[in-house]
């Protein structure tokens, strides 16, 4: 019997070639077990700086460090065999200039095994995207609502309404022309997302954008319903694991207090 063929990992070139084709499926992952689950169905696995809020309880992504992204990137890499793993560049790791961005992007890729990095910003980051891609660092861009810029945007508001649409479109065009292989469109009106998708040559990955984007991404904890008190408008819940976990923990606590757990089948005797 011949050995099964090795699993081929998705590359940035593959994602770039999916423009206008079968929609690209992307979810976040921050741990090895979740990465294994996500890898089975996704084309892209994003180790997002959202890890700071989702797993570490930070109020925003601004406190996320390179060390945190490397730690979680390494964990996710152990669970990914097929999907392209992309790691977010944290706030402060690339804004100073292209050289700083290259040093930190190269470190992220070398220490995690990531196939690409993601950074936020459009026109202002075009030179950095161009610098990185010219030096073999594949870049996923991110425009629209950019969470690392919430202090200047005034919060987590929809971007690109009215006259502001031209800014978002210019940002998307700039990163596409600079060499990004895809671009995340976050929290922009659906009509604008469709226009951007039609006018840029690289795949658009929507989150709170439009079904017409070339792909979609969600925070895995949002779509699994792990948060019982937080539900973004754009995040459809495909399960209610937070609610189920809460009920399971309550049942466990009740049985412990009533001395019903552990039962006979959960303890050891002399022979077994």
pLDDT tens per residue across span 201-242: 999 999 999 999 999 999 999 999 998 887 888 999 999 999
Around Cβ 102, how many Cβ atoms within 10 Å?
18
List pLDDT tens digits, range 31-63. Answer: 999 999 999 999 999 999 999 999 999 999 999
Binding residues for Mg(2+): 49, 88, 120
**Cα R_g (the chain), whole angstroms:** 21
Mean pLDDT of 109-115: 98
Six-digit token pair at 35? 């990465």
Mean pLDDT of 260-267: 95
Around Cβ 181, how many Cβ atoms within 10 Å?
25
Give bridge partners of residue 205 from the DSSP assignment. Answer: 184, 215
Residues assigned a catalytic role:
186
Binding residues: 49-50, 88, 118, 120
**Beta carbons within 8 Å of 55's beta carbon, 6+ residues apart:** 30, 72
Q: What is the CATH number of domain 12-240?
A: 3.20.20.60
Domain boundaries, the chain: 12-240
> Residue 230: what pLDDT?
76
List pLDDT tens digits, range 166-199. Answer: 999 999 999 999 999 999 999 999 999 999 999 9
The widest CA-to-CA distance across the chain, in whole angstroms, is 77
pTM of this structure: 0.94
Sign for the pseudo-dihedral over CA of 90, 14, 174, 194:
negative
Structure confidence at residue 5 as a pLDDT band (50, 70, 90): low
Phi and psi at residue 155, to the nearest 5° = 115, -170
- Note the Cα 259 to chain centre separation in Å: 43
> Residue 1: what pLDDT?
41
- The percent of residues above 90 in pLDDT, for the chain, comes to 93
Preceding omega of 262 cis (within 30 degrees of 0): yes
Six-digit token pair at 76? 């996710």
């Amino acid at each position: 019997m011949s050995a099964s063929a090795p699993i081929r990992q998705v590359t940035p070139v593959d994602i770039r070639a999916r423009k206008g084709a079968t929609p690209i499926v992307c979810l976040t992952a921050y741990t090895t077990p979740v990465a294994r689950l996500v890898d089975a169905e996704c084309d892209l696995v994003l180790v997002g700086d959202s890890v700071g809020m989702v797993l570490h309880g930070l109020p925003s992504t601004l406190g996320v460090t390179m060390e945190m992204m490397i730690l979680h990137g390494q964990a996710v890499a152990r669970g990914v065999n097929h999907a392209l793993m992309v790691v977010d560049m944290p706030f402060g790791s690339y804004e100073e200039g292209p050289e700083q961005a290259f040093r930190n992007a190269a470190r992220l890729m070398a220490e995690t095994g990531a196939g690409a990095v993601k950074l936020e910003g459009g026109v202002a980051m075009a030179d950095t995207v161009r610098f990185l891609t010219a030096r073999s660092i594949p870049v996923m861009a991110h425009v629209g609502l950019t969470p690392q810029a919430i202090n200047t945007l005034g919060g987590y508001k929809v971007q690109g309404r009215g006259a502001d649409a031209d800014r978002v479109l210019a940002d998307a065009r700039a990163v596409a022309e600079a060499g990004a292989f895809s671009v995340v469109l976050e929290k922009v009106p659906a009509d604008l997302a469709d226009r951007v998708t039609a006018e840029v040559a690289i795949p658009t990955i929507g989150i709170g954008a439009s079904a017409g984007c070339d792909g979609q991404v969600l925070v895995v904890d949002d779509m699994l319903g792990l948060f019982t008190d937080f539900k973004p408008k754009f995040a459809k819940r495909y399960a209610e694991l937070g609610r189920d976990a809460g009920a399971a923990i309550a049942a466990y606590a009740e049985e412990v207090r009533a001395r019903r757990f552990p039962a006979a089948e959960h303890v050891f005797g002399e022979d077994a």
